[in-house]
Amino acid sequence: MPIINSLNFPVFKGDLTEIKYKEQKHFVINTISPNSYGLAVKNPVVKQALQNSDMLILDGLYFGWLALFKQGIKINRIAGWDAFHFFSSELNKDRGRVFFLGSSTDTLLKIKEHYSQEYPNVSVAYYSPPFTPKFSEEDNKRMHNAINDFKPDVVFIGMTAPKQEVWAYQNRNLLETKIICSIGNVFDWYAGNSKRPAVFWQKTGMEWLARIFLRPEIFKRNIGNQMLFFWHLFLILINIKKL
């Protein structure tokens, strides 16, 4: 698996076609971005969850700058949206099984309806956990049972970051599945609750700028984490901060 250590996080630098989902077990895929880096610096539990992911895909283009500037290695950006559609297409070819964990029942119903049309060969199940800052032991058991009774090939988790990443890491070995992939806001995009910024912004790596206007409250919430990343990157590039 082509993994590069970037700021002490295992970032995937290959292509999703290199991941053979049938050969995996409890394989955790999370995304990494300047925001998630900032969250990890401030919270050791988040840091542990991200560093112990089997693979981090580069959702935030700028997180790849260190490898580019220091080692001349370009890491392909793979957003959660890309991983979602890649694995869904693979499952559709193989008549596989997918499970959606997170969000409201209304959103999950919209996802299932849309998904069944786009990927008709995939069996779909879902579970809406309670909206609470911290899950109880009973909450976790219900989620484990819902997933394990269905035995999906892939579990997509759509909770707020870093809740989804921490949950995936802490519960991975209790789930009967091959792939566990945190994709966050993809749930709302796919359900049609909100729109992903246009392709132009995606290809130029400026998706974050469009999101400022679409959801300014998220920008305000995350700006501190992002600035922390750029400050650390600057200090590393001028050899003041060590990795």
* Percent of the chain residues topping a pLDDT of 90: 66
Using 50, 70 and 90 to split pLDDT, how confident is the model at 187?
very high
Question: Dihedral angle at the C-alpha atoms of 189, 176, 88, 47, nearest 10 degrees?
Answer: 50
Does 73 have pLDDT greater than 60? yes
Q: What is the pLDDT of residues 92-115, one digit of tens each?
A: 999 999 999 999 999 999 999 999
Q: Are 41 and 158 in contact (CB under 8 A)?
A: no
Helix (H, G, I), strand (E, B) or coil at 164: helix
* Percent of the chain residues topping a pLDDT of 70: 88
In the prediction, which pLDDT does 70 show? 85
Using 50, 70 and 90 to split pLDDT, how confident is the model at 61?
confident
| Domain edges within the chain | 3-191, 206-237
Provide the strand spans (E) within 67-184: 97-101, 123-127, 154-157, 179-182
Mean pLDDT of 172-179: 98
Question: If we measure between CA atoms, which residue out of 167, 219, 228 comes closest to residue 42?
Answer: 228
In the prediction, which pLDDT does 199 show? 55
Using 50, 70 and 90 to split pLDDT, how confident is the model at 205?
low
In the prediction, which pLDDT does 226 show? 82
Stated pTM of the model: 0.91
Report the alpha-carbon distance of residue 63 to residue 98 in Å, rounded: 29
Using 50, 70 and 90 to split pLDDT, how confident is the model at 223?
confident
Report the alpha-carbon distance of residue 98 to residue 165 in Å, rounded: 18
In the prediction, which pLDDT does 32 show? 93
In the prediction, which pLDDT does 194 show? 81
Using 50, 70 and 90 to split pLDDT, how confident is the model at 64?
confident
Report the alpha-carbon distance of residue 238 to residue 236 in Å, rounded: 5
Q: Residue 176: is it exposed, middle or buried by C-beta count within 10 angstroms (0-12/13-18/19+)?
A: middle
In the prediction, which pLDDT does 216 show? 61
In the prediction, which pLDDT does 211 show? 57
Does 212 have pLDDT greater than 60? no
